[in-house]
Amino acid sequence: MQFFLSLGHRGKAAVILAGLLLSLAAGQVRSLAINRGTVSYHDFLTMLLGNWQLPADIAIASFLFGGLVIMLAGSGAVFRQYFGLCSLSGILACSGVALLASTGRGRSLLVLNTLLVPVMLAIMLLAVASQLKYQPRGIASIPVAGGLVSANWVLNAFLYATYNMIGGMVLLTSLPETRRGIWGARLAGLLLGVAAYFLVMALACLSPPELRLELPMLQVVTNSQPQLLSLYALALWLAMVTTAASQLYGLVARVAQSFSICSEAAAIGILLLALPAATLGFASLVSWIYPLYGYLGLLLIIQAIIRYLTKRYF
């Protein structure tokens, strides 16, 4: 909604371009990872940025922290929109479960999420299909409050692709080496673009008051598949919790190693820093943090082009 529906009729072109960029970027990242033999995201950044380990570490840590804050805020939005409770209750619930999971006492939650995420995706696609079947298609420009999201459809497509690729690079640079993986990465990026396109079209069918909700996809499911709403909301919340746990785990590992403190203390300290920011609101945080990572991703692309032109790593 922030990146595409806000553009009006140009949103279709923007989401199509974003899908093509995701496919191109995923395939290129995987190809570079295989050609250069990188085994981690840090290795890949070092290849792009040179021997700038400190900036790379800071960028990774900021990405993890920003993702943690957004997932906590998203949990608060689920609690408010679905359960009718205050946002703080959802933020605290997500914090508690993420703390347990990240310190090794909530592994079963990760297994449960592995089972429920495909269910969430299936419900989402079913709801989108139903929404598009019975509603007229079209995109009307909607107002989006502030933030770093631009009003240019080309730039928005790049920002959407690059901030998603920051997380994607973590996986694509650490998979076992196989040439078939390059085409798999390209196909995965293309499928993400196709899914985003149909999500945008389904959201475009909502009324202006419904679009002002922080989680409009909950409203899409409510309108088209109300009998599945509870299951979808549970799966969505668990996806947020486990994402928060993984972000917290990555931060804890770095902090505990750097400052020689126990993981429990590091996790509690990080959460205490994240909680105030999470109360700023899910939609507001998305409008600021995700585009910021998109701009950082664009800097990486520029650096990669410079390296290509100077033949430093090809």
Model confidence pLDDT, tens digit, residues 182-221: 898 999 899 999 989 988 888 888 888 888 888 998 998 9
Establish if 148 belongs to a structural domain.
Answer: yes
Domain that holds residue 294: 5-48+56-309
Q: What's the pLDDT score for residue 153?
A: 93
Establish if 314 belongs to a structural domain.
Answer: no
Model confidence pLDDT, tens digit, residues 73-88: 999 999 999 989 999 9
Helix axes 153-172, 282-309, angle to 10 degrees: 80
Burial classification of residue 14, based on how many CB atoms lie within 10 Å of its CB (0-12 exposed, 13-18 middle, 19 or more buried): buried
What is the CA angle 23-289-293, rounded to 5? 40
Q: And the tokens for 212?
A: 């002002």
Which CATH number fits the domain that encloses residue 68?
1.20.1740.10
Res 63 pLDDT > 80 = yes
Establish if 290 belongs to a structural domain.
Answer: yes
Model confidence pLDDT, tens digit, residues 101-129: 777 655 565 666 667 778 878 888 888 88
**Predicted TM-score (pTM) of this structure:** 0.84
Establish if 224 belongs to a structural domain.
Answer: yes
